[in-house]
Structure 1
Amino acid sequence: EVLCEEALRTTIGDNLLWSASSDTQEGILASRSLRTRAYPCFSIVAHRGSQQIVRLKLEQYPGADQFLAEIINGAQLAYEALQYNRDLRNSRSSRDLLLEEQNAAYLASIQADKEKAEQREREENERHKLEEEQHRLVEEKKRKLQKFTEFRNRIRKEFPGEPSPSETDIIQVSIRLPANEPIRRRFRRTDSAKLLFEFAWTNPNVPDQFELLWGYPRR
C-alpha cells in the first residue's frame, strides 16, 4: 500500500532503473546478492571504485513520508559514491595526463639524443673521409716521389756519355744551380732539350721541379 501511494509514484515512478520479480532467474540472483529476506525489497546500489555498495535496502515500509526520507538519504549516499568516482576518474585523468607529458618529454629527449648521435656519426664519418683523403694524398705524393726517384736513378745509369772535345758541331752548356755552383757538359747540336733536362736530373743537387732559363736575354 505504501509503494502505491501517489506521492511515491510521482517521486520515483520515472526514476526506477531496474526491477525484477522474485520468481524469475534475475530476481533470484538479485535477491541472493542483496540477501533479501522480505518482499518487496527496495534498494539503491552505487558503484564506488570497482565495488558495488548497497546504499539503501528497505524491506519494511511504515509510511510514505519515512520511505521518502530514506530514499533521499540513500540517494545522497549514492551521490557521494558517484562524486568519489568522478574525483577518482579526474585524478586518473590528471595522472594519465602527467604520464603522457612525461612520456612525451622522454620521447623528445630520446629523439634529441638520437639526433645528436646521428650528428656525431656524420661528423665522425666526415673526419674519417678527410683523414682518408689526406692519407691518400700523402701516399700518392710518396708514390710519385718514389716513382720519380726511380726515374732519376735510371737516368743516372742510362744517361749517354759526354761527346768528345774533338767532335765537331758540339756546344758547351753550363747550368747554374740555386746555390750558384754550376754544372757543365758538352752536347751535340742535334741533341734534344729533353736530354738537357735529364742531364740536370743526374745531379743530386738539382730539385725534382725546376726551370731552365737562358741568361742573355732571359727566356
Structure 2
Amino acid sequence: MPRGNSFYKLLFWACNTNSPEEFRVSRALKENTYPFLALIVLRQNRMTVVARIEGPIGPGELIEKLERILQDNEASLIAARAEREERDFTQTLRREKDAALLKSLKANKEKERKRREDQDKIDREKQRLVDEENKRKEMIQERERLKEELKIEIPEEPAVDDPDVVRIVLKLPHGSRTERRFLKNQSLKFLYYFAFCHEDCPDDFHVVTNFPRRTLPCEPSKNGPDPPSFEEAGLGKNEMLFVQDNEA
C-alpha cells in the first residue's frame, strides 16, 4: 500500500460473512457488495471509516483512489500524529518531573537523615561531657568527704619536747611544704592521711625518702594490716620526705 501509516487500517472482505464476529463487523461497516475495501483512520481516539471501495476494481484505479483518500485525510493524519507526539512529550515530561521530584525527595531525606545523625552525635558528645563533669564533681565531693573522715582519725599532734616525737617535713609536688609531728610508734598511715588531706596533695601519690631514695609503705589497705610505724620504717627524729605524684 502506498505511504502506509499506522493511523490507517485497510479492511478487506472477499466473501460473505460466516462467523458471528464477521457478521458484527459487516453490520458496522454496512458493505453492500463484494469485494469490499474499507479505509479506517484513528480520529479523536476512535476508529473511523473514511472510505469504502466496493465491487471489482483494477489495480491502477485502486492505487489512484487510495492515494486520493490519503491526501484528503492528510490533515487528520498530521493532527493525529501531532496529538500523539504531544501526548508522548507530555508523558515524557511528566516522567522526568516525577523522576526529578523523587530524586529531590531522596536527597532531602538523606539530608534530614544526615542532619539527625550529626545532631545525635552532638547530643551524645554533650551528654558525655555532662557525665564526665558530674563524675568529676562526684569524685571531688567524695574526696572532700573522705578528707573530713580521715582528719578525725589523725591523732593529736604530740608536744615538741615529747621524747618519742618524730618531726616530719613534707615537700609537695608544686614546691609547697608542710610540717607535722608524730610519735615514733604510730603507724605510717597517719602520715598518709595527713598528706592526703592537704589541699596541694595529688589524688594518687606515694611518700618517698630523698637519700637513699625509697618509697615508704604508708597507704593502708582495707583488708590488710596497718602500715608499719615510723620507728619500724627506720625514720629518725627529723625527716624531710617528698610527696610523689604518680600521674605526673
TM-score by length of 2: 0.62
Cα 1:214–1:72 shift into 2, 3 Å: same
Cα 1:156–1:27 shift into 2, 3 Å: closer
RMSD: 4.0
Cα 1:218–1:159 shift into 2, 3 Å: closer
One-letter amino acid of the counterpart of residue 131, structure 1:
K
Q: Which runs of 5+ in 1 are unaligned?
A: 1-14
One-letter amino acid of the counterpart of residue 202, structure 2:
Q
Given that 2:43 and 2:80 are in contact with CA atoms closer than 8 Å, whether structure 1 keeps it comes out as: yes
Find the counterpart in structure 1 of residue 70 from structure 2.
75
Question: Residue 33 of structure 2: which of 27, 30, 39 is its match?
Answer: 39
Question: Residue 153 of structure 1: which of 148, 155, 173 is its match?
Answer: 148
Find the counterpart in structure 2 of residue 139 from structure 1.
134
Cα 1:193–1:158 shift into 2, 3 Å: closer
Find the counterpart in structure 2 of residue 163 from structure 1.
158
What pairs up with 1:169-208 in 2 under 5 angstroms?
169-173=164-168, 184-189=179-184, 191=186, 194-202=189-197, 206-207=199-200
| Distance apart, 1:101 and its partner CA | 1.6
- State the Cα deviation string for residues 194-218 of structure 1 (Å, max 9, x = none): 4234224556xx3453888999999
One-letter amino acid of the counterpart of residue 193, structure 2:
E
If each structure's strand is expressed as a fraction of its own residues, which one has the higher value?
2
Find the counterpart in structure 2 of residue 209 from structure 1.
202
- State the Cα deviation string for residues 156-197 of structure 1 (Å, max 9, x = none): 2222222344532323345689xxx98653212455654234
Find the counterpart in structure 1 of residue 97 from structure 2.
102
Alignment length, in residue pairs? 201
| Distance apart, 1:76 and its partner CA | 2.6
Percent pairwise identity = 22
If each structure's helix is expressed as a fraction of its own residues, which one has the higher value?
1
| Distance apart, 1:140 and its partner CA | 1.1
Given that 2:11 and 2:38 are in contact with CA atoms closer than 8 Å, whether structure 1 keeps it comes out as: no
Question: Residue 55 of structure 1: which of 44, 50, 53 is its match?
Answer: 50
Question: Residue 19 of structure 1: which of 13, 19, 25 is its match?
Answer: 13
TM-score by length of 1: 0.69
One-letter amino acid of the counterpart of residue 28, structure 2:
S
RCO greater where, 1 or 2, for CA within 8 Å and sep 6 or more?
2
Find the counterpart in structure 2 of residue 11 from structure 1.
none
- State the Cα deviation string for residues 17-37 of structure 1 (Å, max 9, x = none): 53253443455323321234x
Q: Which runs of 5+ in 2 are unaligned?
A: 1-8, 211-238, 243-248
Give the whole-Å Cα distance in 2 for the aligned partners of 1:213 and 1:147.
26
SS of residue matched to 1:163? coil
